[in-house]
Every structure is written in C-alpha cells, then in structure tokens.
Amino acid sequence: MSLLAGDEYLDADEIMNRVRKALPVIKARASEVEANRRLPPDFVEMLRSTGVFRMNMPSSWGGPEMTSSQQVRIIEEIATADASAAWCAMIGTDSGIYSGFLDEDVAQRLFPRLDMITAGWVFPAGRAERVPGGYRLSGRWRFGSGCTHADWIVAGCTVYVDGEVQLTSDGKPEWRILVASPNDYEIIDTWHTTGLRGSGSCDYATEGLFVPEEHSFSFYEPKRSGPINARADAVLRKMSGVPLGAARAAIDYARTVAAERIDAGRGPAARFWTTLSRCEMELGAARAYVYESLDRQWERLSHGEQLTTEERIAVSLSRYHAFRIGRAVVARLCDLVGGASVYTERTPLERYLRDLTTACQHAVAQDENLEFAGELMLGGHPDAPFL
C-alpha cells in the first residue's frame, strides 16, 4: 500500500466515526443546503474531510476500498441528517470506481488525491465524435448531481466515426464515458425541484470539446480487478442508503411525536402503535434484503465467481424495493402525524417525503426494473447494462 501525496490512511471505521461526528452539523444546516439548492463550498470541504468520497479508492493507493455494505451504511448514516448531502456523497464517491476503468498512470494523474469528487450522467446522452487522439464531445446532460462542486464531470456518450454511429461487435451503438474538467462545461441551473433540492443536480453542456482518448472509458473494459470494478453496477450499489436513512430518520421523529401525543392524551394510542410497528417492519425487511443481496454479491465477486441469475435479480430488486418502501414509510408517517406534517419550519417529515418522492424518479426506482428482472428470471436477456 502506498498513499497518494498528502493523504492519510482512513479505514472504514474511522470514516464512519468522522461521519457520525459531522451529523449534527449536517442536520443543522439541512435547511440552508435546501435553500441554497447546492452544497455550500465549506459544507463540501467538511464532507470531504470525513473521507466519504474515498470509499471506492483502491487499497493499492492507500484507499479503504470499502465493501458495498460498508458504503451503504455510510450513506444511510448521512441520509438520517439530510438526503441531499447523502445523495451528493453517494455520487461523489464514484471517483474510485471510475479510476478502475482507466489506465493506472492516467487514473493517478486525474485523481492525485483520494478525496476527489466526480459527478455526471453516465448513460449515453451525448455525442463523442472520434478524432485523432480522442473525441470531440457535444451534448447536454441532465441530473448532474454534485456538478456544482465536483473536481471532474463525466459524460456518457454514443461514439460516432465520420458522422456515423460506431457499432460494437454485437451490433449495439458504442457507449463510452468521457472525463473532463467542470470548467469545460456550461453548468445550466435547472434544479428547481420537488425534493433533493440541495443536491445541485443541474444540467450541463458542451459543444465540440476535445477529450483525449485516455480520459475516456467503458464499463465493459475494467483495468482493475476486484469486486468494485467487476461489474458496472458498482455505481448503483450504495444508492439504497439514501431512502433507508431518510426513512429511518422519519420513523425516529414520528416515534417522538407519537409518544408526546399519547402522553398528552391526544390521538388514539393503538393507531400510533400499529403504524409505527408496520413502518419498522417494512423498513427492516427492505434493509435486510439490501444488505443480504450486496453481501452475497461481494462474496461472489471477491472470489472471481459469476453471479447467478437469482443473485443479479436480488441486488436490483432490493435497491428498487428500498426506494419504494422508503417513500411509502414516510408517506404513512405523514398521514399518522396529520396536518402538522406539512409545516416546513415545524417538522422534517415534509422534506423527507419530498426528498424520497424525487429520489424515486431515478431510473433505479422505476418499474422497468421489475420488467428487466422478470425477463432475466424467465431466461431472457434484458437490455439493462447494470443488471
């Protein structure tokens, strides 16, 4: 193990300790973050100092190379204080994943420090015209979560050669992700939303930007071995922490409200008991499904084994389920608390609900995931690169 210049070694336990110490600050500034519609610079540096953005950095660089479950626990913890901060932390840690798809010398030049932040949309929304030495990049991408504070921004593209779509050996359009500086893009402030308002998930665009070949990669061509880079879905594995953490915080808050109302003789105690028990049960089951499926996946990949169909399905469905159950739990708690849940200055419940409503619009929480899993279950080959 050799640490990158200026970095200190932080293991998973120390990162968790630092995150927990930062939670009161994150929670206290949640309203400010939401009003700002992006993470303030000093807030970003506070998060960076916890080590959260290095979670996927390889042990050969002195990084913690954390398991999927360890990463979900970190994001889950942050989400109990603020979902937008957790969302940005979850996205920003992709730096270590992307580094494993680049040539080693290139990766170390792009990521000279362990705590660097990457943002961007990896699906092929842009155009990369192949030219000598690299690509001419053009396009506009949505949902650039964290692009307002990132060190690098990635852009998913379809590759063109002489104006024609480049096809792979299996006849599909070539999909490539290009890496460039935030200064090379126009950041377009489109982020006026229902929830996750503090994530700064703006659009970004560029036209005719030259990107060297070595600053591009394909999820189908890993340059580093190990569970993190064995499958493209590594960028999605830690996402479940956001709904699990936000729903956990909502339950904890509602328990306090329920206890106060029961003590004061306001409201039917049985309804509070039943609703809170149901929420605990559903969240606990969803959480167990996430961690069991991720631990099984990590074990398989650590031994260089292929996942079974059932294991692939479980990782995808458990993530989908976590988002949907997280939102359902918070909605049920809002109903339980009643009219008081709508006041932004009196309760965090309305923000939890808005945040998870927006989070559930992400591709991982859409019903097409059920279609993909069902097709795979019955012997098909769904067009789903992260399944």
Look up tokens 């605990």; give the residue. Answer: 280
- Nearest alpha-carbon partner for 253 in 195, 359, 336, 322: 336
- How far is the C-alpha of 41 from the C-alpha of 78, rounded, in Å? 18
- How far is the C-alpha of 370 from the C-alpha of 313, rounded, in Å? 9
Look up tokens 């067009």; give the residue. Answer: 383
Work out the end-to-end distance of the chain between its first and last CA atoms, rounded to an integer number of angstroms: 32
Look up tokens 């953005």; give the residue. Answer: 53
- How far is the C-alpha of 118 from the C-alpha of 199, rounded, in Å? 13
Instruction: Note down pLDDT in tens along the chain; length 387 residues.
Output: 556 655 789 999 999 999 999 999 999 999 999 999 999 999 999 999 999 999 999 999 999 999 999 999 999 999 999 999 999 999 999 999 999 999 999 999 999 999 999 999 999 999 999 999 999 999 999 999 999 999 999 999 999 999 999 999 989 999 999 999 999 999 999 999 999 999 999 999 999 999 999 999 999 999 999 999 999 999 999 999 999 999 999 999 999 999 888 888 877 899 999 999 999 999 999 999 999 999 999 999 999 999 999 999 999 999 999 999 999 999 999 999 999 889 888 899 999 999 999 999 999 999 999 999 999 999 999 999 999
Query: What is the three-class DSSP state of 330?
Result: helix
- The pTM of the full predicted model, rounded to 2 decimals, is 0.96
Query: What is the three-class DSSP state of 159?
Result: strand
- The helix (H) or strand (E) run that includes residue 136 is strand 134-144
- How far is the C-alpha of 332 from the C-alpha of 251, rounded, in Å? 10
- The helix (H) or strand (E) run that includes residue 34 is helix 30-36
Q: What are residue 208's phi and psi, to 5 degrees?
A: 70, 25
- How far is the C-alpha of 77 from the C-alpha of 82, rounded, in Å? 9
Cβ neighbourhood burial of 178 (10 Å; 0-12, 13-18, 19+): buried
Encode 226-255: b = buried (16+ Cβ within 10 Å), e = exposed.
Answer: bbbbbbbbbbbbbbbbbbbbbbbbbbebbe
Neighbours of 331 (CB within 10 A): 17
DSSP code per residue over 168-180: -TTSPBPEEEEEE
